[in-house]
Amino acid sequence: MKVTQSQPAILLLEDGTVFRGNALGKIGTSGGEICFNTGMTGYQEIYTDPSYFGQVIVNTTSHIGNYGVVNELEEESASVKIAGMVCNEFSPIHSRKTADGSLQEYFEKAGIVGISGIDTRQIVRHIREKGVMNCIISSEILEVEALKAELAKVPPMEGLELSSQVCTQEPYFLGEESAEKKVAVLDLGVKKSILSNLTDRGCYLKVFPAKTSFAEMEAWAPDGYFISNGPGDPAVMPYAVATVKEIVENEKPTFGICLGHQILAQASGLSTYKMKNGHRGLNHPVKNLITGLSEITSQNHGFAVKMEELEANPSVELTHINLNDKTVEGLRRVDKPAFSVQHHPEASPGPHDSRYLFDSFVEML
């Protein structure tokens, strides 16, 4: 393909820090919460993960776009969900036999604004010191003061309810109807690879919108419930907490991942909080406190469950802990057949150390 000279672009952070680089994707302006992912592969899966809705992703690996994109096969949802992308070296051309096109073309079609030619190490050190914050990227407004006015319009992630914007709007089925086990999925922004991990284990799924009532899901008579990942602040999702409380009281096997983990925690009387940086990458060490074994996990979250409240709650047991910062990575109810993890056992992309959790859930059904 023809390589054209890139236009200039600006990245402006909420604290006034300015980075100048080269435009990628669509020429335009876009803002959101800036956060970084340390994964060295799997960028297309990251960009289509609904959990990243409303966020600008800094890819810390040096080269992005060099292996192109594969439509559908490496997508975690039906569309790109990120608000923008920041990287060091962006490749307008790609080399992979199975690729359907370039990342540049993919972003242009999806309307994604990005910036390259940035020292991502500097940005990451800045965010790690200052904490996550909002930002704005523009390749059309190159005046900093004008951009500040646009950035002021971007809402903070804390206090945002986003699941209802990215979940399915109508229930749908996945898997073999003749399967022995039926699982109701509460879609808060579910990834395709999570669903495939369930169908691959012989489950027939009915995926419900985020605001579906327990009564409507229970009318399908499922053998168990899965509470999915998703974007936004779990503290402003009382509708999901109320539903999961009813699910847990029903005493059918329940499994939650990421946001689903946080919702199960709230339904069990625990609180969540906004993390300074969050965890986003493919190499986060987690210890399973039940088996004593450690796992390398894929993670993507900016909120977490309060450890002190979990330790004081007799109905909840800590099952997994993050070995980097000692935050909550998993819990289970001691009085109900319900458990959850903060990390992503489907790991798409990432290591498969934690996929046994899907087996554990299916065995409970």
Burial class of 317 by CB neighbour count within 10 A (0 to 12, 13 to 18, 19+) = middle
Ligand-binding site membership of 262 (annotated) = yes
Q: Residue 56: pLDDT above 70?
A: yes
Instruction: Please check the confidence at residue 2 and state whether its pLDDT lies above 60.
Output: no
In angstroms, what is the C-alpha Rg of the chain? 20
Burial class of residue 191, CB neighbours in 10 A (0-12, 13-18, 19+):
buried
pLDDT over threshold 60, residue 4: no
State the amino acid at position 76 in one-letter form: E
* Chain centroid, CA 141 distance in Å: 29
Is 300 within any annotated ligand binding site?
yes
Is 193 annotated in a binding site? The answer is no
pLDDT digits (tens, 9 = 90+) for 17-39: 999 999 999 999 999 999 999 99
The stretches of the chain forming alpha helices (DSSP H) are 43-47, 103-110, 120-130, 144-151, 163-166, 192-199, 214-218, 238-249, 259-267, 307-311, 356-364
Which candidate in 45, 258, 261, 284 is catalytic? Answer: 258
Which pLDDT does position 3 carry in this prediction? 44
Q: What is the pLDDT of residues 164-189, one digit of tens each?
A: 999 999 999 999 999 999 999 999 99
pLDDT of residue 259: 98
Mark whether 346 is an active-site residue: yes
Q: Is 167 a catalytic residue?
A: no
Q: What is the pLDDT of residue 5?
A: 57
Nearest residue to 61 (alpha-carbon basis) of 345, 302, 283, 296: 283
| Whole-angstrom distance, CA of residue 151 vs CA of residue 76 | 28
- pLDDT tens digits, one per residue of 307-352: 999 999 999 999 999 999 999 999 999 999 999 999 999 999 899 9
- Residues facing residue 204 across a β-bridge: 182
CATH entry 3.40.640.10 includes domain 163-364: no
Instruction: Report pLDDT for 1.
Output: 43
Active site residue 246: no
Domain ranges of the chain: 8-151, 163-364
Tell me the CATH number for domain 8-151: 3.50.30.20
Q: What are the tens digits of pLDDT across the range 180-222?
A: 999 999 999 999 999 999 999 999 999 999 999 999 999 999 9
Which pTM value belongs to this model? Answer: 0.96
Q: What is the pLDDT of residues 110-157, one digit of tens each?
A: 999 999 999 999 999 999 999 999 999 999 999 999 999 999 999 999
Helix then strand then coil, % of the chain, to nearest 5: 25, 35, 45
Higher pLDDT, 44 or 92: 44
Share of the chain above pLDDT 90, in %: 96
